[in-house]
């Protein structure tokens, strides 16, 4: 599949921010480190920057190609194709997990009596329609949706601080850290959400040529901004709910904000947090869907594109069912097993291995060119 340059760097960076916000503000706060949770977020962001640069290195040093091309160039035709198919399933599985996350979130916070099927199918139809309209229209919408999201998310810390619901005594002393807890939680937070950025290797090839060199710099700025935001939200959530209680809430950010009242009459500000979460979730599911379908089309270029599109959309819908009826099992699998068994090999270990091969091949090529003829 030809990667025609159709999107700009600003739209891509807004899409990246919405992608990172996605389900991480619902389930990714991971407050089990209690008072040190905000420090864990900062440390995970540092590791996330390194991961992001690995992905950008692979893309830039493999002819600015997509993941299928990168794998084929470095692993050979057959192994590369096998790895590509693995990533097709990986992205489809992640899309299905986020779809299940948001179905449960909406069912638990907004539409209590509605059947999960109708919620899930409605989100699925929106994502399918987005794919039909194409990547260009979808990524460009990130600027409008991202601007509204930014406005709301920057107001939330101000509302919490002026409402008087934040308790400094819950967070004091600020640097009271349990290193065992930090080390235990950190790997999960690195893989989720930062490791999931590998999906953007399927988006970067569509960047306008003149914007390619700006990916590293702008990506750095966006990840640093998101990391500070995630750390601030963790800090404020603990200060509102109490460190020992906050870790037991399923959706702590919603619980922290729903108690906020401004000027004794402005209430239920949690609706703004819900809007942010829904925007982020939609972008996350859609980007994983684009990554999975486009990678499948590139890898299996002899199969009819429409057949691949319909098949993968059905796989995403069906995979979202096994854990949707059981919230505890869904969260345990998502936060305990998926980072270790799925994210670690596919988002960290294999990309590092491919980076090593790319580096060695590049050194050999440069050595041959520098040899006197």
Q: What is the pLDDT of residue 199?
A: 96
**Contacting residues for 309 by C-beta, under 8 A, at least 6 apart:** 131, 293, 297
Q: What is the pLDDT of residue 313?
A: 94
Partners of residue 7 on adjacent β-strands: 207
What is the C-alpha radius of gyration for the chain, rounded to an integer number of angstroms? 21
Query: Which of the four pLDDT bands, split at 50, 70 and 90, describes residue 1?
Result: very low
d(CA 159, CA 161): 6
Provide the whole-model pTM.
0.91
| Residue 15 predicted with pLDDT over 50 | yes
| Residue 371 predicted with pLDDT over 80 | no
- Name the nearest CA neighbour of 300 among 85, 7, 18, 26: 85
The Cβ of residue 64 has, within 10 Å, a number of other Cβ atoms equal to 17
**Contacting residues for 274 by C-beta, under 8 A, at least 6 apart:** 109, 110, 254
Q: What is the pLDDT of residue 370?
A: 72
The tens digit of pLDDT for each residue in 274-322 reads 888 888 889 999 999 999 999 999 999 889 999 999 999 999 998 887 6
The tens digit of pLDDT for each residue in 172-226 reads 877 767 777 788 888 888 888 899 999 999 999 999 988 999 999 999 999 999 9
- Name the nearest CA neighbour of 98 among 316, 354, 342, 258: 316
Query: Which of the four pLDDT bands, split at 50, 70 and 90, describes residue 150?
Result: confident
Q: What is the pLDDT of residue 339?
A: 84
Q: What is the pLDDT of residue 9?
A: 93
CA distances to 34, 100, 204, 312, 334 from 93, rounded to whole Å, are 30, 11, 21, 10, 11
Longest dimension (CA), the chain: 82
Contact present, 285 and 139 (Cβ < 8 Å): no
d(CA 196, CA 101): 16
The tens digit of pLDDT for each residue in 99-121 reads 988 888 888 877 888 888 898 89
Find tokens 């199969």 and name the residue.
303
| Residue 237 predicted with pLDDT over 80 | yes
The tens digit of pLDDT for each residue in 30-88 reads 777 788 888 989 999 999 999 999 999 999 999 999 999 999 999 999 999 999 999 99
Peptide bond just before 292 cis, omega within 30 deg: no
Q: Is the dihedral of CA 11, 14, 20, 26 positive or negative?
A: negative
């Amino acid at each position: 599949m030809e990667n025609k340059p159709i999107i700009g760097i600003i739209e891509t960076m807004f899409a990246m921010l919405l992608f990172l916000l996605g389900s991480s503000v619902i389930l990714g706060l991971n407050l089990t480190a209690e008072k040190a949770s905000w420090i864990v977020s900062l440390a995970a962001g540092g590791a996330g920057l390194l991961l992001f640069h690995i992905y950008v290195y692979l893309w830039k040093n493999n002819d600015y190609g997509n993941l299928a091309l990168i794998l084929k160039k470095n692993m050979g035709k057959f192994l590369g194709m096998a790895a590509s198919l693995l990533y097709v399933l990986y992205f489809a599985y992640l899309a299905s997990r986020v779809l299940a996350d948001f179905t449960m979130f909406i069912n638990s916070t907004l539409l209590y009596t509605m059947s999960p099927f109708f919620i899930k199918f409605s989100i699925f139809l929106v994502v399918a329609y987005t794919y039909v309209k194409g990547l260009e229209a979808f990524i460009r919408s990130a600027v409008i949706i991202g601007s509204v999201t930014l406005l709301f998310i920057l107001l939330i810390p101000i509302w919490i601080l002026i409402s008087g619901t934040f308790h400094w005594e819950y967070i004091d002393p600020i640097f009271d850290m349990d290193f065992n807890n930090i080390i235990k939680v950190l790997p999960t937070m690195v893989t989720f959400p930062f490791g999931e950025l590998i999906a953007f290797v399927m988006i970067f090839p569509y960047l306008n040529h003149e914007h390619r060199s700006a990916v590293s710099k702008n990506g750095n700025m966006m990840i640093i901004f998101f990391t500070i935001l995630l750390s601030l939200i963790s800090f404020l959530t603990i200060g509102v709910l109490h460190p020992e209680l906050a870790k037991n809430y399923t959706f702590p950010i919603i619980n922290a904000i729903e108690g906020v009242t401004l000027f004794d009459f402005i209430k239920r500000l949690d609706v703004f947090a819900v809007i942010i979460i829904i925007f982020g979730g939609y972008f996350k599911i859609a980007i994983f869907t684009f990554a999975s379908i486009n990678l499948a089309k590139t890898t299996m270029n002899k199969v009819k594109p429409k057949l691949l599109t319909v098949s993968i959309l059905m796989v995403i819908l069906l995979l979202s069912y096994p854990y949707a009826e059981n919230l505890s099992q869904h969260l345990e699998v998502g936060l305990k097993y998926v980072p270790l068994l799925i994210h670690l090999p596919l988002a960290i270990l294999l990309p590092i291995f491919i980076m090593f091969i790319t580096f060695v091949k590049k050194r050999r090529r440069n050595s041959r060119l520098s040899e006197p003829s």
